[in-house]
Each structure stands twice: as C-alpha cells, then as structure tokens.
Amino acid sequence: MVISIWRYSHLVLAISSSIFLGIASITGIILAFEPIYHAIQPYKAEDMERISVAETLEMLDGKYLEVLELKVDSDNFVQASVIGQDGESSTIYINPLTAEKIGEPQEKKAIFRFATNLHRSLFLKSPGRFFVGLVSFLLLLIAITGIILVARRQGGLKRWFTRVNKDTSGQYYHVVLGRIFLVPVIIIAGTGVYLSLEKFGLLPEAEISHQTVLAPTTKGNSAVASGPSVLKQIRLKEVRTILFPFSDNEEDYYQLELKDREILVHQYKGTVISEVEYPLIMLASRLSLAWHTGRGSVLWSAVLLASCIAIVFFMISGFAMTLRRRKHTVRLKTEAADPGKCEYVVLVGSETGSTFNMAKVLQKALIALGKSVYLSELNDYENFDRVKHLIVLTATYGHGDAPSNAQKFVEKFQATTIANPMSFSVVGLGSLAYPNYCQFAIEVDQLLGKHPKLKQALPLYKINNQSFEAFKDWSDKWAKALGLQLRLKNPGSPASTKKTTEFVVVERTEVNPDDTFLLKLKPTSNLSFSSGDLIAIKPGGNEVDRFYSIAKTDDEILLSIKKHSNGYCSRYLSGLEQGQEISAWIKPNTEFHFPSKTPEVILISNGTGIAPFLGMINNGLGATKTHLFWGGRNETSLEIYKDYIHSARHRGQLSFVFEAYSQSGLEKHYVQDLVCREADLIAKSLENGGVIMICGSVAMQKEVVRVLETISKKRLNVPLSQFLNRGKIKMDCY
C-alpha cells in the first residue's frame, strides 16, 4: 500500500506541475548555454590571484579622466565604468595589468532574454513568478517522493546504488537517471524556491550598515600611490565590485564589495575605515543564484543542462509508465466477461502491467479451447459461484509485498465464503535479484492451500524476469494436470521491422539421436556480434522471430538447435544445405557476454544451452579460469560439441568439464547434482568475485538456482540475490 501512496503522490505532483515544469525545463536547457557562451568570450583576465587592487587602480588612474566603478565577474572578466580623456563615459572590459580596453560588454542575446523571461515569470510578471516558485517547490517534492520510491524499489537506502532491475527501458532509465540527477535536481529546485522567496520579500532583509569613522584630514596623493595601503594586499580575485570615491573630499572613500565582506577604504591613507562581513542570508542568496544559473562555472552549467534534459525525460518516461499501467486496467474493464458465467477465472496481481500480457495469452488459449474465462485483478476477487478453476498470476513488490492491484485480495478472500469446490494454481512473477523472491505469490498459495474447498492443481510455480518460456512450461504442466490440450502463443517478438542481414550456411551437422544439430553461418557483410548475443530468424514469411543463442567462432556464428517435430523454424533450419543463404538479424544481449575482468567463470548449461559457451571457451582470452558444467542424455549427446571442448582444453582456456547424464547407467544425474557436488568450487568462486553463467532450459535453471541459493546461504551466509544484483550470476534460459 505504502509504495502506491508514494507513487501516487509522485505522479500527482508531476501531473499538476507538468506544463510549467516542462516550460521551466526547456527554457532551463536554453539558459544553461548562457554561462557557457559568456565564459568562452575572450575577456578573461589571467593571474587574478597575483594582481593587487592597487596595481589596477594605479593603471586606471593614469589612463582615464575618472573611474566610477570596477567589477570582476565570476568568469574573471574585469569591467570598468570610466570617463575617458575625451570626456565620454563608457563601460568596458579591461586588462587589469594595463587598464587597456579589450572589449565591451554585449547586450544579452535575444534568445536568452526570451528564455529568461519565460523561465522566471512566464511573461506574467508577479503571478508568473509565483507559479514558477510553486513549480520549483513541487519539483522539490517530486524529487523527495522520488527518493522514497527509488529507496523502496532498491530495498532500502543502503542499497541505493545496487543494480537496477530492468523491467522496461523507460522505467529502467527513469530509475537509473533519477539516481544520478537527484542531487542536481534538488539543488535546482531548492535554489529556485529560495530565489522566489527572496523575490517576494519573504526572507529576512540582508542589510549591510557601516559605521563610518571620519578620518583626520590628510591631503596628499591618493591611497593608490602613497604608503602601505590595504589595497596593495587585496587581490583582484577577491573583488566583486569597487565603487570609487565620489569626490576628492576626504570623507569619500573606496567601497569594496569582496567575496566574503564589504570594506570602506580611506582614499588617501589606504586604511580600512569600516569592515562588515556579509550576513549569512546574503551569502546564501549569492550561492543560490550561482547554483541556479551556473554562472561562473562551465562544468556546473553542463550539469544543469544535463539535469534539465533529464527532467524532460523523467516527465515523458513517467507518463509513458502511467499510461502503460492504466492501459491494462482500462482494457480489462471494457473486455470483462461476466464472472458469474465463467468456468475459469484468471486473477492478476501486477504493478506495471506486464503480468497482464501473460494472463491474456492464457485467456486466449483457453478461449480457443471453447472455455469461458474471466480475467481481472486480484483486488476484484469476489464470490465466483460457477468457477471451477482459479488461476492466480501475481508479481511481488517492495519487501515481498503485494502489487497495488492485489492489496485487498487477502482481506477479500478471507471475508468470502466459497460454496463450490475449485482447483487453483498460483504463478509467482518475480525477480531472483530480490531477496523475497515471489514472496507475495508464496503467501497467496499458502492462503488458498488452506481452504478446504480449494484443491491445488499444481504446486506454486515461480517465474523469474517475466520469462515467457517459463510461463509456457507452467502452462504445459497445468494443462496436463487438468487434461487440456492448451497451446500458448508467444505474443512477444512479433514480425519485426529490424533490418536483416544475409547469412550463408557454412556447415550443418546431421541431426543426432537427441534431435540436435549444429549450424554454422557466416554473415555476408561486416557484422559485429559476440557469443551470448541472439540471432533472430523468421523463416518463410512466418510472423514471429525465433531466437537462438549464438557462439562466435572465427567470425562465424555457431548455433546448436533442437529439432522439434512441430517446430516450423527448427525443421526449416535442419533442412538447410551448405552454401544456402538465410536472412536474420542479431539482437545484442550484452548482459550475457563473457565477463572481461573476472578471475573465474563457471558456465552451467544443459542441452543446446551449451551453444554460447562453445564460443566463449574459444574466444582467445585464456586469462580467465573457466569451468564448464553440462547436462545431457548420455555420452553420445556430447559428441557434436566435443571438437569445441577439446580445442578449448588444448588451448588451456577450459580448466574443468563436469558432465551429467540423465539416461546413462542406472542412476540419473542432472546438472544441479553436479553443482551440488561441486559446492566448494562454486562457493569459493563466488566469494572471490567469480561469475556464474547459466544457459539452457528453464526447468534446469530453476533447479540450479535452488542449489545455488542453498550454497550461498549455507556457505557464504548471504542470499543469492546479492550476487544476482551485482551481476555475478547471469542467466539466459528458455
């Protein structure tokens, strides 16, 4: 519940300020260029730490009839208001060593003038300034609610910088960039609020009052030329403004606004008549202005520029995420069947909506079998009288909590009387990267399991990272338990518009007794790819891309393919001849590349899952100690891979190969048994920063992960999620 309150606040704040925030960010992007443009003008004075005020004043004295004011700006441009020998007054940039004119201040560019007015007051004067101040305050609140959301998402403030799990790209970058730009955005918003409060006089007045002490009359040379003067000690670097004495009268003095204080200096003696340190409020104002505008620092201006772009991105990605979430609920409302007449009920617990995609695939497949299906959210649970089968698909959020559309489920379920018996099956959608993997699904499964009228059709099935293959595996098992001929259609990867490349068949092995064969392809044009990437093939006008994990060997692609009797693509590929060409495209899968700076890598696979590893162990980087675990039916199953394994062993790239056979000899051995047996090796490797890569069937993945979880907890005293989070366990299973 808590997470949705914060998300709701985050969203409401963003929506309520969206138009003004959008304007402020876009004009902020333009205005960030102003200090950069100013800084690159050729008026910057060097050696400001060395040149004394007295030196510059002396040069000015000799060159101009009168000097009224001198200013040093944050880019070290020295600007003087002078009356020249011809009696003309002007404001010029000077070289402080010679007092020569080097240029003239330019008028603010029209684009910056326009952007400043819009940014500050939306061209609405005081009401506009008020809105902009309010928007800054809302931005501050958005940033604060953002901190809470990210902290909750990551599992606490301490885990702030741990890896972000990728749900959708928009969501991923919203969080990743949110973490990076949090501090600058808070500074922009905070200083914006401060400047607005100042503008409306809501802050204490910053007044400086000198108690002028009249010095005794001492006619003579000005302070610049005579005796020891404080002006000789003050460097130009410390100066903001110097106001020159109004007349020769002794009671007129130099007024120096320095960086930290203001002083009045006797124009003849060069002594300090009065000195006042700036009040804190004045320093805060100056700092706010500098931080808000980026004046005086190209680097900070660049940060402000990037932050304003990031705010625009946050707005777009944030709204896209909300629309995505809403899309599913709105559609459900319009498509809802009558639950009172349905035999199957599919209830979904989802925060971002992805789980609905799976639920809809299931609904479609059941409808194709002529079944009546009601699909809804877990919060819509009610007394389903005619329902015979209940299926719950639910994600987990926060610290093992229910997603927001499932938070009322437990209460509603407990308050409802179930009259007729039902079968039930719970599918947990979660991420192994969280310590409470599928926790809410576990609780729902236990709750349903305790009800006398409910009969479990299948034990709780957990799915990592929305794996459709795993969902299909569940559906096969569930359908078998219910005696249904269910066929799920993968909605993902529809006919892609990706540009394909031609590949020529270099070699194809015969199909072995396990119905597996190797296919070697060579791209006909220059193509960059790595072992672990995926090749997408769509034979003969078929609508869906089929993905195969690739091994890169000598710039060629090696695939290990299982021929399925009903598999359109695998049957097509098994019939290819040497020299034939096929069209395909490469999908980079950087998360599953061989790690570069790792002391040890353990590769775990079964069946055709060995494919990317065949390339990785022959990649020419012998520095990493590498072990290969592989499970197949029997010794002959390994035959087609033997050459690649031998060559890696021969080159010293592969330390150990552990094999498990399920149909050889009396005892069945599986990869997870090997992993369990080699627990020492696994634990040491994880402890020393090693990486484990898993590729193959989801069933194998589930078992291997279970064993790894035990090893991690028992031997290393940490949950496996910690290694997953740090990218120390990489998985690509199907």
Ligand X SMILES: Cc1cc2nc3c(=O)[nH]c(=O)nc-3n(C[C@H](O)[C@H](O)[C@H](O)COP(=O)(O)O)c2cc1C
Strand partners, 101: 94
Q: Which stretch binds ligand X (CB under 6 A): 273-281, 344-352, 497-505, 595-603?
A: 344-352
**φ and ψ at residue 632, rounded to 5 degrees:** -145, -170
Give the one residue of 288, 297, 379, 439 binding ligand X; rule: CB under 6 A.
439
Interface with ligand X, residue 436, by CB under 6 A: yes
Q: Are 661 and 631 in contact (CB under 8 A)?
A: yes
Q: In what order do the strands lie in the sheet with 66-72?
A: 101-103, 89-94, 78-83, 66-72, 239-243, 253-258, 261-266, 272-277
Short-list 607, 584, 592, 537, CA closest to 727: 592
Q: Measured from the CB of residue 349, what is the shortest distance to ligand X in angstroms? A: 8
**φ and ψ at residue 638, rounded to 5 degrees:** -85, -15
Q: 396 or 423, CB closer to ligand X?
A: 396
Could you give the 3-state DSSP secondary structure of residue 260? coil
Give the count of beta carbons closer than 10 Å to the beta carbon of residue 386.
14
Q: Which stretch binds ligand X (CB under 6 A): 350-358, 481-489, 575-583, 667-675?
A: 350-358
Q: 72 or 175, CB closer to ligand X?
A: 175
Show contacts with ligand X in window 266-325 (CB under 6 A): none
H-helix or E-strand containing 195?
A: helix 169-199
Q: 424 or 437, CB closer to ligand X?
A: 437
Q: Measured from the CB of residue 705, what is the shortest distance to ligand X in angstroms? A: 12
Q: Are 136 and 129 in contact (CB under 8 A)?
A: no
∠ Cα 35 39 44 (to 5°): 145
Tokens of 729: 């366990």
Q: 4 or 436, CB closer to ligand X?
A: 436
The structure tokens 């190969």 sit at: 657
Give the one residue of 431, 467, 618, 701 binding ligand X; rule: CB under 6 A.
431
Look up residue 378 and give its amino acid: L
E strand spans, 350-479: 373-377, 389-395, 422-430, 454-456, 461-464
Short-list 286, 262, 289, CA closest to 276: 262
Show contacts with ligand X in window 400-419 (CB under 6 A): 400, 403
Q: How many chain residues are in contact with ligand X, going by CB under 6 A?
A: 23
Q: Which residue is nearest to ligand X (CB)?
A: 430
Interface with ligand X, residue 329, by CB under 6 A: no
Q: Measured from the CB of residue 462, what is the shortest distance to ligand X in angstroms? A: 8
Q: Which stretch binds ligand X (CB under 6 A): 178-186, 252-260, 436-444, 656-664?
A: 436-444
What whole-number distance in Å separates Cα of residue 33 and Cα of residue 37? 6
Q: Measured from the CB of residue 154, what is the shortest distance to ligand X in angstroms? A: 8
Give the one residue of 20, 300, 437, 613 binding ligand X; rule: CB under 6 A.
437
> How many Å separate Cα 88 from the centre of its chain?
59
Q: Which stretch binds ligand X (CB under 6 A): 214-222, 432-440, 569-577, 618-626?
A: 432-440
Show contacts with ligand X in window 353-382 (CB under 6 A): 353-355
Short-list 493, 465, 369, CA closest to 167: 465
Q: Measured from the CB of residue 709, what is the shortest distance to ligand X in angstroms? A: 13
DSSP state letter for 238? G
Interface with ligand X, residue 438, by CB under 6 A: yes
Give the count of beta carbons closer than 10 Å to the beta carbon of residue 578.
10
Show contacts with ligand X in window 127-186 (CB under 6 A): 153, 167
Please tell me the number of Cα atoms within 13 Å of 32 on its side-chain side: 19
Q: Are 438 and 412 in contact (CB under 8 A)?
A: no
Q: Which stretch binds ligand X (CB under 6 A): 395-403, 413-421, 515-523, 675-683?
A: 395-403
Short-list 500, 436, 434, 494, CA closest to 468: 494
CA separation (Å) from 598 to 78, 297, 626, 715, 725?
55, 40, 10, 21, 16
Q: Measured from the CB of residue 392, what is the shortest distance to ligand X in angstroms? A: 13
Show contacts with ligand X in window 577-606 (CB under 6 A): none
Q: 278 or 723, CB closer to ligand X?
A: 723
Please give the span between the terminal C-alpha atoms of the chain, in angstroms, as a whole number. Answer: 34
Q: Measured from the CB of residue 457, what is the shortest distance to ligand X in angstroms? A: 22
Give the one residue of 45, 304, 395, 470 binding ligand X; rule: CB under 6 A.
395
Q: Measured from the CB of residue 141, what is the shortest distance to ligand X in angstroms? A: 20
Interface with ligand X, residue 434, by CB under 6 A: yes
Strand partners, 691: 601
Please tell me the number of Cα atoms within 13 Å of 342 on its side-chain side: 22
Q: Which stretch binds ligand X (CB under 6 A): 235-243, 348-356, 579-587, 611-619?
A: 348-356
Q: Measured from the CB of residue 429, what is the shortest distance to ligand X in angstroms? A: 4
Please tell me the number of Cα atoms within 13 Å of 648 on its side-chain side: 25
Q: Are 357 and 391 in contact (CB under 8 A)?
A: no
Give the one residue of 466, 530, 608, 618 binding ligand X; rule: CB under 6 A.
466
Q: 434 or 641, CB closer to ligand X?
A: 434
Q: 54 or 391, CB closer to ligand X?
A: 391
H-helix or E-strand containing 13?
A: helix 2-31
Interface with ligand X, residue 352, by CB under 6 A: yes
Q: Measured from the CB of residue 12, what is the shortest distance to ligand X in angstroms? A: 19
Q: 557 or 705, CB closer to ligand X?
A: 705
Q: What is the β-pairing status of strands 534-537 and 546-549?
A: antiparallel
Tokens of 679: 């627990």
Q: 17 or 376, CB closer to ligand X?
A: 376
Look up residue 414 and give its amino acid: Q
Interface with ligand X, residue 262, by CB under 6 A: no
Q: Measured from the CB of residue 727, what is the shortest distance to ligand X in angstroms? A: 17
Q: Measured from the CB of residue 390, what is the shortest distance to ligand X in angstroms? A: 18
Give the one residue of 429, 488, 611, 720 binding ligand X; rule: CB under 6 A.
429
Tallying the residues shown for the chain, one arrives at: 734
Interface with ligand X, residue 384, by CB under 6 A: no
Q: Measured from the CB of residue 347, what is the shortest distance to ligand X in angstroms? A: 13
Q: Measured from the CB of residue 402, what is the shortest distance to ligand X in angstroms? A: 10
Look up residue 712 and give its amino acid: S
Q: Measured from the CB of residue 2, what is the shortest distance to ligand X in angstroms? A: 12
Q: 439 or 531, CB closer to ligand X?
A: 439
Residues lying near ligand X in the complex (CB under 6 A) are found at: 153, 167, 350-355, 395-398, 400, 403, 429-431, 434, 436-439, 466
